[in-house]
Structure 1
Amino acid sequence: MSDVRIPVHAIKGRGAASRLAHRFSVDERAGFDDGWGTLDEAGAAAQGIPATQVTDELARSAISRNTSPDVPFTQSINPYRGCEHGCIYCYARPTHSYLNLSPGLDFETKIIAKRNIAQRLRHDLGKPGHLPEPIGLGTVTDAYQPVERELRLTRSVLEVLQEAQHPLAIITKSSGVERDLDVLAPMAAQRLASVYVTITTLDAALARTLEPRAAAPHRRLRTIRTLVDAGIPVGVSVSPQIPFINEDMEQVLAAARDAGADRAFYQVVRLPWEVAPLFREWLQVHHPLRADRVMARIQDMRGGKDYTADFATRMRGQGIWADLIHQRFEKACRRLGLNRERHSLDGSRFRPPGVAGQMPLF
Structure 2
Amino acid sequence: MRRDASSGPATTPGVQQSLLDSGPSRPRVERQSVIRSFDGITCYEVPARTAIDRIPEATELPYQWAVSPYRGCQAACGYCMARRGHRYLGLDAGHDFASKIVVKTNLADRLRRELASPRWTGDPIALGLTGDCYQPAEETYQLMPRIVRALADAGNPFTLLTKSPLVLRDLDLLREAAKMTQVSATVSVGFVDDRIRRAVEPGAATPQRRLEVCATLNDNGIPCGVLMAPILPLITDSADHLLSTVRRAAEAGAVSVTPVVLRLPSGARECYMGWLEREHPGLVPRYQALYGKGPTADADYRARIADQVRGLAEAYGVGQSARRWRRRRSPARQLALV
Listed one character per residue, the Cα deviations across residues 156-185 of structure 1 (whole Å, up to 9, x for unaligned) are 211111222211011111111111111212
Residue among 151, 157, 178 paired with 1:188: 178
In 2, Cα distance between the equivalents of 1:23 and 1:104?
19
Partner of 1:75: 65
The aligned counterpart of 2:304 is 324
Is 1:56–2:45 an aligned residue pair?
yes
| Counterparts of 1:201 and 1:71, CA distance in 2 | 18
> Offset of 1:190 from its aligned partner?
5.0
**Residues 51, 282 of structure 1: alpha-carbon distance in 2 compared, 3 angstrom cutoff:** farther
Check conservation: 2:153, 2:180, Cα contact below 8 A. Answer: no
Asked if 1:244 is matched to 2:234, the reply is yes
**Alignment-derived partner of residue 123 in structure 1:** 113
Contact 2:191 2:231 in 1 (8 A): no
Residue 65 in structure 1 maps to residue 54 in structure 2:
yes
Alignment of 1:273 onto 2:266: yes
Aligned to 1:5: none
- Post-superposition offset of 1:124: 0.8
Distance 2:307 2:262 in 1: 17
Change (3 A) 1:235 1:274: same
Per the alignment, residue 146 of structure 1 pairs with: 136
Q: 2:99 aligns with which of 106, 109, 121?
A: 109
- Report the aligned-residue RMSD: 2.4
Q: What residue identity is the alignment partner of 1:120? A: R
List runs of 5+ in structure 1 lacking aligned partners. Answer: 1-21, 27-49, 309-313, 342-362
1:242 and 1:67 map into 2 onto residues whose CA distance is: 21
- CA change 1:291–1:322 in 2 (3 A) is farther
Q: Note the C-alpha offset of 1:322.
A: 2.9
Show the counterpart of 1:217: 207
2:126 matched residue in structure 1: 136
Q: How far 1:140 moved relative to its partner? A: 2.7
1:93 corresponds to: 83
2:82–2:129 Cα contact (<8 Å) kept: no
SS at match of 1:195: strand
Residues 137-172 of structure 1 deviation map (CA, whole Å, 9 limit, x = unaligned): 112321111111111112221111122221101111
TM-score by length of 2: 0.78
For the residue of structure 1 that corresponds to 2:299, the secondary structure is coil
Counterpart for residue 252 of structure 2 = 259
Alpha-carbon distance in 2 for matches of 1:254, 1:269:
21
Deviations 1:225-256 (A, max 9, x none): 11011011110011111122224122111111
What secondary structure is seen at the aligned counterpart in 2 of 1:73?
Answer: coil
In structure 2, runs of 5+ residues without a counterpart are: 1-20, 26-38, 322-338
Shift of 1:280: 1.7
SS in 1 for 2:257: strand
Amino acid corresponding to residue 251 of structure 1 in structure 2:
S
Answer yes or no: is the 8 Å Cα contact 2:152–2:180 preserved in 1: no
SS in 1 for 2:129: coil
SS in 2 for 1:54: strand
Bigger Cα Rg: 1
Question: Does the 8 Å CA contact 1:189/1:232 hold for their aligned counterparts?
Answer: no
Q: Which amino acid aligns with 1:62?
A: A
Amino acid at match of 1:335: A
CA shift digits 1:187-208 (9 cap, x unpaired): 3355510001011221222212
Q: Which amino acid aligns with 1:237?
A: L
- Report which of the two has the higher share of strand: 2
Q: Deviations over 1:305-353 (max 9, x none)?
A: 4x34xxxxx4x7413x334322321211111112458xxxxxxxxxxxx
Greater RCO, CA 8 A, separation 6+: 1
> Are positions 1:235 and 2:215 aligned together?
no
SS in 2 for 1:76: strand
- TM-score with structure 1 setting the length: 0.73
User: Can you list the C-alpha shifts for 1:63-94, whole angstroms capped at 9, x where unaligned?
Assistant: 11246384433321000111111000001101
Tell me which residue corresponds to 1:333: 313
Change (3 A) 1:59 1:235: same
Task: Name the % identity.
Answer: 33
Give the CA deviation at 1:219.
Answer: 0.7
Gap change, CA 1:217 and 1:62, over 3 Å in 2: same
Corresponding pairs, count: 284
Question: Are the aligned partners of 1:134 and 1:168 in contact in 2 as well (CA < 8 Å)?
Answer: yes
**Corresponding residue of 1:348:** none
Q: Residues 323 and 230 from structure 1, CA distance in 2 versus in 1: closer, same or farther, beyond 3 angstroms? A: same
